[in-house]
Amino acid sequence: MYFGIDLTSTEDKPSACVCLDDRLEVIYCGLLNADGDIVAAVGLSSSQVVAIDAPLSLPLGLCCLEDGCDCQQATGWKGRWCEQELARRAAPCYFTTKKSIIKRMVYRGIRLKDRLSKQECEVLEVYPYASKLRLWGKPVASKTRPQGLDWLRKGLGILLVAVAPYVQRWSHDLCDAAVAAYTAYLYAHNGTEAVGIAEEGVIHIPKGNCGRKVGG
């Protein structure tokens, strides 16, 4: 089983979760608030790989992201190397720094990874935007526009035939969770590339074009 999580910054706002099996059929889809509920859902699904759309590590040298702490980044670049590398590949994301606007999400992601790692499943950091680039190429339609959601639903319906009965009712968050789950599936089948350096944390993205062009 392959579990994808589109993580939010706090438990006050639900996180979208989708689980796929080896036939790429939907085993679970839903919105969960508490970390404990997410951990329980992963356990009940017996997922081997969990893919989380959130930073799951800190830059080398940092013990936290607090301005009042004396810890200093040990590298000469901003954020983590995986984030720098994605920016070079035209898939920019938020940099993990002490000035990050998603600081709470970073902390939550790291805590959740630690809890899930105790359940004998492998936890990956993924970035759905970069996955979409690899799966469907450019341009990736804007998630803030209705046509962007239509584009994403169409792409998922082509890529994951078993998702078709569900996808027209899914929000953008659930669609992103499905992209994360599919990236976890590809990882288990040697279909992803690890971007970054292992000592600091990597982001897994699909190798080449593992899917089909939307409309192709």
Give domain status of residue 14, yes or no.
yes
Handedness of CA 55, 14, 112, 67 (dihedral sign): positive
Q: What is the pLDDT of residues 26-71, one digit of tens each?
A: 999 999 999 999 999 999 998 899 999 999 999 999 999 999 999 9
Give domain status of residue 59, yes or no.
no
Which segments in the chain show pLDDT lower than 70? 209-216
Give domain status of residue 92, yes or no.
no
Output DSSP code: residue 162.
G
Give domain status of residue 180, yes or no.
yes
pLDDT of amino acid 210: 58
pLDDT of amino acid 146: 80
Pairing between strand 26-32 and 49-52?
unpaired
Give domain status of residue 96, yes or no.
no
Give domain status of residue 19, yes or no.
yes
pLDDT of amino acid 214: 46
Q: What domain range includes position 164?
A: 2-54+112-206
Give domain status of residue 81, yes or no.
no
Task: Select from 146, 195, 190 the least CA-distant residue to 171.
Answer: 146
User: In whole angstroms, what is the distance from residue 14 CA to residue 76 CA?
Assistant: 36
Instruction: Give the Å distances, CA to CA, from 167 to 61, 160, 211.
Output: 42, 10, 17
CA 6 to chain centre: 6
pTM: 0.90
pLDDT of amino acid 209: 56
Give domain status of residue 87, yes or no.
no
Residue 197 has, within 13 A of its CA and on its CB side, a CA count of: 10
pLDDT of amino acid 4: 97
R_g of the chain computed on alpha carbons: 17
- Residue 176 tokens read as 């992103």
pLDDT of amino acid 30: 94
CATH number at residue 31: 3.30.420.10
Name the domain count of the chain: 1
- For residues 54, 59, 61, 66, the Cα torsion angle rounded to the nearest 10 degrees is -60
Contact indicator for 106, 79 with CB cutoff of 8 Å: no
